[in-house]
Amino acid sequence: MSAASRPETFTNLSRDAYVSEAVYEEELRKVLGRQWLLAGHSSSLKASGDYYVRQVGPESLILTRDGEGRVRAYFNVCRHRGSRLLEDGDCGRAQGFVCPYHRWTYDLAGRLRTVPGAKDGSPFSYADYPLHEARCDTFHGWIYVWLGEDEPPALADVLGPASDEAALKTVGSERLKLAHQETYVIAANWKTMLENNAECYHCGHGGHPSLAIACDFQGFFSDTPSDQAFPLRDGMATFSMTGRRVCQKPLGTAPPDGFSTGFLLMPMFCGPVYFADHAVSLELTPLSATQSQLICEWYVHEDAVEGVDYEVPALIEVFHVTNLEDGVFAERNARGVSSRRFTPGPHLAHREAGVGGALGLYKTMMAAD
């Protein structure tokens, strides 16, 4: 290739970045530990004692609402010999958490309360063994956690500039109800998933036939600024298989047909997108160097009634099908990238600008100490 024809930037990273355990370990500290990460919506923690378990990177977290009404995130690790307190997928309402191994118990504030066979102070003080806690904050109802040891930036300072305050008021972001959740485990490095989510170059040519019904994916490439976070085709009310509404109870103050807004964080891709009648959130997290998890949640107005206002299959179909298609793209990409002959190819700035932007953020974070 002549110097004149060599692209200035390349689409993705070198092979190591997608398969190396050493790179992955570094990412856990420099990327996963230094970004606010979406971990559900506060409507799933309506009352004190409500809880659910969330896998975020290598950590299992217990999200709960304490006695003062604060949302808290505890590492799912007993302070005795480290047993998990709860299982993946557990949720419910409790007065505290009991380790299933030797029955040490913790209250909703994470304080150790009882230890069978050992009174407080003899031979140790309970106060010295609270549950380990992750920083946690909410933004317009969404719960974010911070896994690292560093002091995080204020969540509002991060998400405020990335979101449209007026549009978020329109959708009544605090007044949602979780209608459905899907968890996808994909045999691909998380950055392969990120790259796929950061471009819609693959959406054309039959890549996402269902998505193409309602989504004007050419809008993702437009140079003209749009007030739509998620471009819909003319005449489409919402993002669904037909373009018609899939929940009869609109969000908030009833946004018009074709409405969309949202805010996404990168490089660990996460955030919600809202339409006139429902919202969808995506949370990407790595499980290992070569395996990723994507949690997709569908939300409706808190007063919407299943079977009356919405049916889950119609509500979820287009995003679910698209997620499955993206999983196939990512796994196929991951198998190719694992080849010793793989080298990054040329970058199409007019089709893949999002990939360059997302990986630019990643490179900046990895270059830090």
| Contact set with Fe ion (CB under 5 A) | 326
Please count the helices (runs of H) and the strands (runs of E) in the chain: 8, 15
Indicate the residue among 88 and 164 with the shorter CB distance to ligand FES.
88
Q: Which is nearer to Fe ion, 14 or 222 (CB)?
A: 222
Cβ atoms of 347 and 10 closer than 8 Å: yes
- The nearest distance, CB 200 to Fe ion, in angstroms, is 7
> Measured between alpha carbons, how far is 170 from 277 in angstroms, rounded to an integer?
11
Q: CB of 124: closest distance to ligand FES in angstroms?
A: 13
Question: CB pairs under 8 A, 24+ apart, for 129-134?
Answer: 129/79, 129/80, 130/79, 130/106, 131/62, 131/74, 131/75, 131/77, 131/79, 131/97, 131/106, 132/74, 132/75, 132/77, 132/79, 133/72, 133/73, 133/74, 133/75, 134/59, 134/61, 134/73, 134/74, 134/75
8 Å CB contact between 93 and 48: no
The values of phi and psi at residue 40, to 5°, are 105, -170
Give the total of residues touching ligand FES (CB under 6 A): 9
The structure tokens listed for 222 are 């437009």
Binding of residue 105 to ligand FES (CB under 6 A): no
Kindly state whether residue 132 participates in binding ligand FES, applying the rule CB under 6 A. Answer: no
Binding-site partner at residue 326 among ligand FES, Fe ion, none, CB < 5 to 8 Å by type: Fe ion
Binding mask 28-67 for ligand FES (x = CB under 6 A): ----------------------------------------
Binding status of residue 80 toward ligand FES by CB under 6 A? yes
Residue 102 binds ligand FES (CB under 6 A): yes
CB of 240 to Fe ion, least distance (A): 17
* In contact, 60 and 84? CB cutoff 8 Å: yes
Residue selected from 38, 78, 188, 294 as contacting ligand FES according to rule CB under 6 A: 78
Query: Which does residue 266 bind out of ligand FES, Fe ion, none, counting CB within 5 to 8 angstroms by kind?
Result: none
287, 154 in Cβ contact below 8 A? no
Q: Which stretch binds ligand FES (CB under 6 A): 95-103, 151-159, 165-173, 357-365?
A: 95-103
Taking the least distance from each CB to Fe ion, the nearer of 107 and 326 is: 326
Binding positions for ligand FES, rule: CB under 6 A: 78, 80-83, 99, 101-102, 104
